[in-house]
């Protein structure tokens, strides 16, 4: 990580109008899937993005990579604003590794066609040149040249995810969004794939946004961590700082959910209770207040804003409003 901003996100929102029924044009309400998110991703780092299912992580990632338009806000890539005009120019610099290695690969395509596909779309390389480009990469990922003729069903889950990784890396991108890339894999395979991501990052200098609902996975891969709840970032800090000096009650609950293998170790952190509220009908004030053991009167009337509480450590919680931070 060299301190140069690669991605800059400012006030990004994605709101969906929800209708009463299939034929109705009467809007029942608005789902604020992403609601005013701002952050920076620095070149060469891994920013982990954690939150429960339905908190807006995937919607956010789809906007970043240009698969979905934002309702409001701006995204900058290498200092250039991403819009309809610029997205095609930068598309090859941004790639995605998907969650499910079973459905993200076309079963009718052999491995060679799958990995070469981005080259077919974005370059004019000959067939031989494409093969020359992909061979070192697939070999580095543990495949032989003969494997290129095989189809997805002939590979294990871990191998399929490595094919997805090869496809994401083949154009030499600067930025990769990893959307829950190990959650569909056996635990024994997860560590191999996570280590592979790190190895490729060290070698190629790529920048990751790594999305997961699993705090132990995020802890393993991230340099900094952003915690998302109901469409908002509620805490953002360097990994070590986030774990040693956790500020937000929601982050504390997520950290409590990491199993501790030693029964002699006790922590005062309480695991998360209750469910994520409906984004169609979120609580007033702080979106976390119905599950928060520290909620105060102000929490029901005022939405806490993300503020820098310590250098590089941001939190959105009224516990840290001026002197209220002492309680
Ligand atoms: Fe809990 Fe209030 Fe902080 Fe929200 S703002 S996390 S309800 S203390």
Looking at residue 21, its pLDDT comes to 64
Q: Are 276 and 52 in contact (CB under 8 A)?
A: yes
* Cα end-to-end span (Å), the chain: 35
pLDDT in tens, 79-129: 999 988 888 888 889 999 988 877 889 999 999 999 999 999 999 999 999
CA 274 – ligand 1 centroid, Å? 15
Local structure of 304: helix, strand or coil: coil
Q: How far is the CA of 319 from the centre of ligand 1 (A)?
A: 7
> What CATH number is associated with residue 124?
3.40.50.300
Range of the domain at 209: 5-100+109-326
- Rounded CA separation 67/165 (Å): 19
Residue of 283, 290, 295 to mutate, ligand 1, most atoms within 8 A of C-beta: 295
pTM: 0.90
Q: Tell me, what DSSP letter sits at residue 225?
A: E
- CB within 8 Å of 284: residues ≥ 6 apart: 300, 301
**Which whole-number Å values give the CA distances from 291 to 90, 155, 174, 283, in the listed order?**
41, 43, 39, 11
| Residues within a 6 A CB radius of ligand 1 | 248-249, 286, 288-289, 292, 294-296, 299, 304, 317-319
Count the domains in the chain.
1
Mutate to test the pocket of ligand 1, among 272, 296, 324 (most ligand atoms within 8 A of CB): 296
Average pLDDT over residues 173-181: 94
Tell me what pLDDT residue 324 has. Answer: 43
Q: pLDDT tens digits for 62-75?
A: 999 888 999 999 99
Instruction: Measure the CA–CA gap between 131 and 199, rounded to whole angstroms.
Output: 23
**pLDDT tens-digit map of 233-247:** 999 999 999 999 999
């Amino acid at each position: 990580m060299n301190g140069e901003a690669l991605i800059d996100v400012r006030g990004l929102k994605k709101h969906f109008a929800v209708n009463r029924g299939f034929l109705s044009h009467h809007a029942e309400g608005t789902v604020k899937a992403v609601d005013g998110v701002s952050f920076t991703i620095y070149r060469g780092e891994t920013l982990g993005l954690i939150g429960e299912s339905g908190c807006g992580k995937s919607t956010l990632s789809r906007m970043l990579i240009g698969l979905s338009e934002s309702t409001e806000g701006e995204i900058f890539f290498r200092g250039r604003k991403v819009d309809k005009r610029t997205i095609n120019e930068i598309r090859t610099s941004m790639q995605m590794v998907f969650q499910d290695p079973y459905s993200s690969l076309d079963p009718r395509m052999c491995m060679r066609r799958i990995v070469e596909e981005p080259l077919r779309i974005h370059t004019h390389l000959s067939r031989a040149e494409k093969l020359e480009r992909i061979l070192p990469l697939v070999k580095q990922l543990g495949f032989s040249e003969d494997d290129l003729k095989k189809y997805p069903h002939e590979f294990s889950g871990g191998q399929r995810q490595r094919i997805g990784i090869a496809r994401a890396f083949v154009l030499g991108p600067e930025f990769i969004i990893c959307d829950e890339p190990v959650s569909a894999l056996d635990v024994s395979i997860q560590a191999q794939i996570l280590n592979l991501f790190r190895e490729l990052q060290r070698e190629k200098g790529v920048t990751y946004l790594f999305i997961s609902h699993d705090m132990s996975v995020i802890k393993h891969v991230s340099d900094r961590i952003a915690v998302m709840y109901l469409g908002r970032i509620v805490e953002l800090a360097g990994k070590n700082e986030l774990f040693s000096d956790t500020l937000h009650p929601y982050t504390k609950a997520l950290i409590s959910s990491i199993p501790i293998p030693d029964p002699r170790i006790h922590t005062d952190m309480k695991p998360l209770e209750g469910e994520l509220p409906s984004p169609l009908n979120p609580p007033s004030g702080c979106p976390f207040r119905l599950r928060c053991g520290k909620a105060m009167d102000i929490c029901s009337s005022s939405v806490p804003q993300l503020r820098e509480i310590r250098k590089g450590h941001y939190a959105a919680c009224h516990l840290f409003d001026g002197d209220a931070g002492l309680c």
